[in-house]
């Protein structure tokens, strides 16, 4: 009789242990899924912000990666925002996108078609956007600057001849 009780206890312990393992695995899967969903949301927001010229929203997704010493993102100047408002983005397409290392990094390759507002000539640029996951804020950020084609034009100085 005591043997049967011990067997019952052992079986119950095994069932409870198995249920705990399944529950912990399910929670881990939900956490990964949550991170994946958050990446997709950040990627979609980047795409839409670029397409519609919502530059302030776009810059909210840009943050220097503390794990990358060469990562340098600075807040945009009003002059730069004004310059960007003169760029009309005609089309943005994520050609390739995905998480490289779960909960750590991801990359999206964008094809961007744009033109200055006073021109009808459409130009194309490809942009690799590297993403990193901030566990503290549970959010994906990019430390990739906008394409160099979007930079402020260089100021030209005219040197006058002494003659």
Q: Is the pTM of this model over 0.85?
A: no
Helix, coil or strand: residue 145: coil
The H-or-E segment that residue 152 falls in is none
User: Per residue in 11-41, pLDDT tens?
Assistant: 565 566 555 555 554 544 445 458 889 999 9
Please, what's the largest Cα pairwise distance for the chain?
117
Q: Looking at domain 2-150, what is its CATH homologous superfamily?
A: NTF2-like; domain 1 (3.10.450.100)
66 vs 68: CA distance, rounded Å: 6
In tens, the pLDDT along 82-112 reads 999 999 999 999 999 989 887 789 999 999 9
Spatial CB neighbours of 135, under 8 Å, sequence gap ≥ 6: 103
Distance CA 112, CA 81 (A): 18
């Amino acid at each position: 009789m005591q043997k049967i009780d011990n067997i019952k206890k052992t079986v119950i312990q095994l069932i409870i242990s198995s249920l705990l393992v399944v529950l912990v695995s399910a929670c881990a899967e939900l956490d990964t899924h949550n991170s994946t969903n958050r990446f997709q949301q950040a990627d979609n927001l980047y795409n839409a912000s670029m397409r519609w010229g919502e530059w302030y929203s776009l810059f909210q997704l840009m943050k220097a990666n503390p794990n990358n010493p060469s990562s340098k993102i600075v807040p945009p100047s009003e002059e730069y925002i004004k310059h960007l408002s003169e760029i009309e983005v005609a089309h943005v397409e994520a050609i390739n996108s995905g998480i490289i290392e779960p909960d750590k990094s991801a990359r999206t390759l964008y094809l961007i078609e744009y033109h200055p507002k006073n021109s009808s000539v459409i130009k194309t640029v490809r942009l690799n956007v590297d993403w990193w996951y901030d566990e503290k804020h549970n959010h994906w950020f990019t430390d990739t600057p906008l394409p160099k084609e979007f930079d402020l034009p260089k100021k030209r100085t005219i040197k006058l001849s002494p003659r």
